[in-house]
Structure 1
């Protein structure tokens, strides 16, 4: 029975529990701040309207029979409090079922939000957080060693996350196969950060090496997560370093951060102390797992193994699904990202005017968003791991159609000068006053070259304006 006790992975457990809980804190804070304006009683896609057709719900939710913004805030702030308690280590100081109950509560609370979140919560990292929260719930407490089975299942989650992303790239855009994908990606990614322009301006041979490194990290390294130590720790370290490069070169909400945390499942204590000898060595937390704890852990492990059939089949399918859940509980999912690389950055720009006639002589003022590019002179900001949901969906508009239900609702809120909607923006050019008209234009954006930056001071160059929604007003 000693095999079931991973005595050399206490640091890994601490990182997993506290790290996943830290991401839950960010996720619930994002929900408390943004959900009412986006999906609340008077939001762009109101949840009460969704609940009128319950058959469209994605899965279980506490809001199935009743929703209110007040209840939503109770859920969000309860989630923040529970997750913060794990970050500081309170539940871990008790019996193993205490952190288990806390994580299962976080899983259920956040799943309740995601399952009514519609397009604003349709991102792959939502289900990733849910699966991670459920899995690490069974790592136990400081009273006994972490279970080996749960650590391996966490590594299996990292494998699906990385290998799935690698396969979706190889099977998708030819730019990943001819190594040119990074010629475009740093510039066209959903939300660049302060270093994205620097990364974009690197020489093309460096970009090709980036793509090769990505393929190595996602298609080869994940297999070594299941090798003996210290090989498994080295594989996890490669994944962590790759994710850190993505952290410093872009804004991908908490996707990179939670991947870093989960990769620690394969880093053993001896390797940590070899790399960081100044860290104190903790006393042992026992050598065996009691049968009353081992039985539920093995039962959950068996469940996750059985549920793995569907994502395994998906990995080897020619029609591989990206970011797909195969059950209502969003456990053991399929992951992937950027199977297609956008070559040109098209930004949707929303403008308004106070003038009665919306012709070319009118003074049009631009609404500025917090994260997405707008003002060409403004340096991109760092927001990850925080998720700006409205800004992200603005990036998807030119990839499909601006005629989305939520976007027209957004334009209506701007015409009403709705305060909760305007708080989601960086700049309201009318300081709370209602515009007479709003319109939508698109521009081609590209990063300024070094010479252009020196000459103009601009971060972005934009041209090719095109009106995609002509001036509209309230009836």
Structure 2
């Protein structure tokens, strides 16, 4: 699932840079004579530059709503896993949504270039980017993506600008930081050591070489997002929400104990996921930076077909077998303590936020929905044998 989850490549790249942030030959948390190489610091700045500029360019080149300032009319309602704040933000005035769009373009398309305009502008860049990520954290459950994006932004600050965060006691961490700064200026013996120079220069050349196709991609009108041009994924291209879905659809998985799934009298009961919309009266969840991977994938599946997401049929088979591991990923099992379902199906619904203060909200509903039709037809374990065999999947057995 690498192609779908840009934060995973971003985590790899961030971690790779971290290897070179501190000296490999000391266990001291604040080595006095070996401050971090400026090459590594600039590698982190180069990372946040690519993340933000890539996100801004993919929006301008992608969905038209980013250019006509209407995307935020839909984003809060249709984002992968909305939170309670998104419910209210969705009803903001049109002018406020337009302001959000302009601010977003400013942060992603203009602010990144402050990195190259000297120390003060670099610090301003760091402050703005961190505040922007905090706003995104508040308004959505985008996994640990925004928290992770804060990490390279910290490289925009030098020791002097962060000294106020540390203890001012004699011999405290603040003094150690200042000593480290002084050591970096006066004690050049270790800092200028041959091995360290070779490692840092080699690291810088590697980052530069791997950045060439990334820069070409950024400049291309056919820009792609969240991909890599090297197998180790240590210098990647990023981007987010290049297109916005205008309507929210959900796949609701249901099961029945009825012998005949086509019997009008069959009672279909719904499986509830831990976070994604389902029960109309359940408040949107607040989980960031935690991540429910299955809920996220269900969002992708909802605006595609089950033929494009065969894993969802695999999931149906696991539910038919009452697989404990799969059921642990669900918020509720309607067949808990009962006979496992004979049939499982997927139904497709269009979901919309209820209006705060409206009749649906007064009834305790956060969502309203309308049936679109079947997503995948009723299936049972016997009928899935051929499907599973063709894909070399082991057929689940009922527990």
Could you tell me the TM-score, scaled by structure 1's length? 0.72
Deviation of 1:463 after TM superposition, in Å, equals 1.3
Q: Quick check: 2:250–2:349 contact (8 Å CA) kept in 1?
A: yes
CA distance in 2, matches of 1:325, 1:381: 32
The equivalent residue for 1:48 is: none
2:297 alignment counterpart:
393
Q: How does 1:148-187 map to 2 (within 5 A)?
A: 148-187=38-77
**Shift in Å, 1:419:** 0.8
| Residue 456 of structure 1: aligned partner | 363
| Deviation of 1:136 (Å) | 1.6
Aligned partners of 1:350 and 1:441 also within 8 Å = yes
Say which SS state the counterpart of residue 84 (structure 2) adopts: coil
1:294 and 1:199 map into 2 onto residues whose CA distance is: 51
Deviations along 1:82-106, one digit per CA (max 9) or x if unpaired, are: xxxxxxxxxxxxxxxxxxxxxxxxx
Q: Is the 8 A contact 2:321 2:340 kept in 1?
A: yes
Q: Which runs of 5+ in 1 are unaligned?
A: 1-118
Deviation at 1:464, TM superposition (A): 2.8
User: Secondary structure of 1:461's match?
Assistant: strand
Q: CA deviation at 1:271?
A: 2.4
| 1:268 CA drift (Å) | 2.0
Give 2:219's match in structure 1, choosing from 297, 307, 316.
316
Map 1:35-434 → 2, pairs under 5 A: 119=1, 122-141=4-23, 142-143=30-31, 144-273=34-163, 281-283=174-176, 284-285=179-180, 286-287=183-184, 288=188, 289-291=191-193, 292-358=195-261, 359-403=263-307, 404-431=309-336, 433-434=339-340
What stretches of structure 2 of length at least 5 have no aligned partner? 24-29, 383-399
> Corresponding residue for 1:45?
none
3-state secondary structure, aligned to 2:149: helix
Offset at 1:398?
2.4
- CA offsets, 1:118-155, max 9 Å, x none? x3774111110001111121011521211111011110
More displaced, 248-257 or 397-406? 397-406
Within the candidate set 439, 445, 450, 2:351 is matched to 445
Query: What displacement does 1:468 show?
Result: 2.1
Q: Secondary structure at the match of 1:301?
A: helix
**Cα distance, 1:326 vs structure 2:** 0.3
> Whole-Å Cα distance in 2 between the matches of residues 205 and 278 of structure 1?
45
How far did 1:384 drift?
A: 2.0
Aligned residues: 356
Question: 2:167, 2:174 within 8 Å by CA — same for their partners in 1?
Answer: no
Per the alignment, do residues 122 and 341 of structure 1 end up closer, same or farther by CA in structure 2, a change over 3 Å counting? closer
* Residue-by-residue CA offset, 1:157-201 (whole Å, 9 max, x unaligned): 111110001000000001000111100001000011121102111
Computed over aligned residues only, the root mean square deviation of the Cα atoms, in angstroms, reads 1.7
Cα distance in structure 2, aligned partners of 1:121 and 1:419? 29
Do the aligned partners of 1:120 and 1:389 also contact (CA within 8 Å) in 2? no
Q: Secondary structure at the match of 2:374?
A: strand
- Alpha-carbon separation, structure 2, partners of 1:163 and 1:181: 18
Q: For residues 16-38 of structure 1, what are the alpha-carbon distances to aligned partners after superposition, in whole Å with 9 as ceiling and x for unaligned?
A: xxxxxxxxxxxxxxxxxxxxxxx
Contact 2:348 2:373 in 1 (8 A): yes
The CA distance in 2 between the partners of 1:408 and 1:396, in whole Å, is: 15
Once the two structures are superposed, what CA deviation does each residue of 1:195-226 show, in whole Å capped at 9, x if it has no partner? 11021111111111111111000000001122
**Structure-2 separation of matches of 1:145 and 1:273:** 15
In 1: Cα distance, 2:3 partner to 2:380 partner: 29
**Regions of 4+ moved over 6 Å:** 277-280
